[in-house]
Structure 1
Amino acid sequence: MNTKEAYSNFATSTNLANSGKASSYIRALDLLSEMIEAVPMGFSDCEDIWSPPPIERLNQLYHFVCEEKKKGTKSKWNLPNLPKSYLQNGYCSAALRDYQSFLVEHRHEQSLLEEFSKHNGTEDEAVRHLEREIEIPPFLLEDIADVEGKEVMRMVKARSNQRVFQKIVRSNYGQACCITGIEVPEVNRASHIIPWAKNKETRMDPRNGLYLSATYDAAFDRNLLSLDEDFRVILSNDLKDHYTSESTKIHFLSKEGQKIRLPKSFLPKQEFLETHRRNGNF
């Protein structure tokens, strides 16, 4: 996946559905590249915006774009063959700021994924490396009050770590649901054995993850389904006693006692599974 595609996914996931911001931001960045190509203004090194220069350099470009926006029709980037609204209405500057945030998170995620792919030493050591803090340049928070800034950093870290966890678990299970073998990413989920909100120390631990299709993810999340010490599917008494339809028999009762497809590495931790079982009626 190239940078433009990755940013498109980021912009779509971090903006309201159907808001149009993602497509507008991508269009704004493409237009900015065309503006720089036509009139470099000292930023020829930023012309290929999708092969980004250092984030600090993009920050210089961001402040320059803000100044050009103030000039309105007097800006040299007010070119007759390009839409004027993207620069003058602030889409170029807003898109640049969003793009910088994406690059910070994307590079952090890539470094964690590389760490996972190596997992040298013991598994505990590998997990500690995956808990590394994201580093956000101060200039990305310069317009935000201290309290809000701390909250933004917390949200950014959580969002980035959740995406990394999903990618790690998906890779660890070969992109297939460990119960059904379904390999359709749109219907599969990276499930936490110990819920994300319950214990921050297990959030990034690959041993705390199962890759499940949506139905089994929901059942696992609600403690209707779990795994025993040999990684075999067990069902809660609530499910077996109260749901007797044919579809329940096909999709759940038939799976009872089945051993899951084990991951490439980082087996589910028995301590986590034991905690999960204690929270259900098994």
Structure 2
Amino acid sequence: MSNKAQYSRYMQAEGIEGSNKASSYIRALELLGPILARTRTHRNCADLFAVESPGRIAELYELVLDQQRKGKEGMFGGEEPSSYWRNRFYSAALKSYQEFLILAPYKQKLWELARKGGDPVYLAQRLNKQEIGKVERLLVDRGVDFASREGKDIIRTAKARVGQEFFRELILDEYRVQCCVSGLNIPEVLRASHIVGWAEDEGNRLNPANGLCLSATYDAAFDRHLISFDEDYRLIFSPILAEFYGNQAFQAQFKAFEG
């Protein structure tokens, strides 16, 4: 999968689905590359998605930030659409892409461990112990100390975001991209549901045995305790749903999968 495709998935995993932020940042990087490539020292930056060094992106970020401040007197003077440099979308997109490049190897390490298999609980422990390499780069230009509470919160949030994305991919892979209730196999509507919630048990957050692949409807019902599963993963209904038993849609979409 290309860096561009991976970055797009990373942006969607930030919890901004339904917004145009991901597409705007991707477009900003597509427009920015050729502009940078016109300069003598950045001719190899025509395709920014081919740049894989967080350090290199950091250098470009400083340059672009400075040029945006100069307004029409800088390298972006006369460039259209002007909103990308006026609103500092170019620098924001570079900062976001740099973060992706820092976190991508961490996610790759998680997958390397997961592919080795083994006891799910032990695997979860090993996954939780993984650290982000060059993590200090996440704090560059933010004026935040690595050891401060704010610095630790930023790193913790980034690690959790990648962990949630990884867990979803892991569960969809375990269930062969199918809802375990209905068999629906449309990835865009499938969710990785935690049996024990993410916030309730930190040690089991990445445990593949603590996940179910459910389509959005069943995920919502499971999250609200309207449905559950026994030890053999058979579907069980909450008594609250009894009033809907006579409903034809309920019969087709829920009752048909009971037990």
TM tier, smaller: 0.7 to 0.9
Mapping for residues 1-282 of structure 1, pairs under 5 Å? 1-12=1-12, 14=14, 20-40=20-40, 42-75=41-74, 77-78=75-76, 83=81, 86-87=84-85, 89-119=87-117, 121-131=118-128, 132-135=130-133, 137-142=135-140, 143-145=142-144, 146-240=148-242, 242-247=243-248, 248-257=250-259
Secondary structure of the equivalent of 1:140? helix
The one-letter amino acid of 2:49's match is: W
Return the alpha-carbon distance in structure 1 between the equivalents of residues 19 and 13 of structure 2: 11
Secondary structure of the equivalent of 2:236? strand
Q: Whose radius of gyration is greater, 1 or 2? A: 1
The one-letter amino acid of 1:223's match is: H
Return the alpha-carbon distance in structure 1 between the equivalents of residues 159 and 188 of structure 2: 24
Is the Cα–Cα contact under 8 Å of residues 168 and 206 in structure 1 kept in the other structure?
yes
Is the Cα–Cα contact under 8 Å of residues 177 and 213 in structure 1 kept in the other structure?
yes
Q: 1:46 to 1:254 in 2, by over 3 A?
A: same
Q: Deviations over 1:63-89 (max 9, x none)?
A: 2222333444444x3476655553454
The one-letter amino acid of 1:206's match is: P
TM-score by length of 1: 0.77
Task: Please say which of residues 187-196 and 30-39 is displaced more in the overlay.
Answer: 30-39
Secondary structure of the equivalent of 2:50? coil
Q: Deviations over 1:151-183 (max 9, x none)?
A: 222222222111111110001000001121111
Q: 1:244 to 1:21 in 2, by over 3 A?
A: closer
TM-score by length of 2: 0.83
Return the alpha-carbon distance in structure 1 between the equivalents of residues 18 and 218 of structure 2: 29
Return the alpha-carbon distance in structure 2 between the equivalents of residues 233 and 7 of structure 1: 37
Return the alpha-carbon distance in structure 2 between the equivalents of residues 70 and 187 of structure 1: 42
Return the alpha-carbon distance in structure 2 between the equivalents of residues 161 and 203 of structure 1: 8
Percent identical residues: 38
Is the Cα–Cα contact under 8 Å of residues 136 and 153 in structure 1 kept in the other structure?
no
Return the alpha-carbon distance in structure 2 between the equivalents of residues 115 and 243 of structure 1: 44
Q: 1:236 to 1:172 in 2, by over 3 A?
A: same
- The offset of 1:20, in angstroms, is 4.3
- The offset of 1:149, in angstroms, is 2.8
Unaligned runs of 5+ residues in structure 2 are: none
Q: 1:100 to 1:234 in 2, by over 3 A?
A: same
Return the alpha-carbon distance in structure 1 between the equivalents of residues 173 and 103 of structure 2: 19
Return the alpha-carbon distance in structure 1 between the equivalents of residues 167 and 126 of structure 2: 13
Return the alpha-carbon distance in structure 2 between the equivalents of residues 198 and 15 of structure 1: 20
Return the alpha-carbon distance in structure 2 between the equivalents of residues 117 and 34 of structure 1: 39
Unaligned runs of 5+ residues in structure 1 are: 258-282
Q: 1:12 to 1:107 in 2, by over 3 A?
A: same
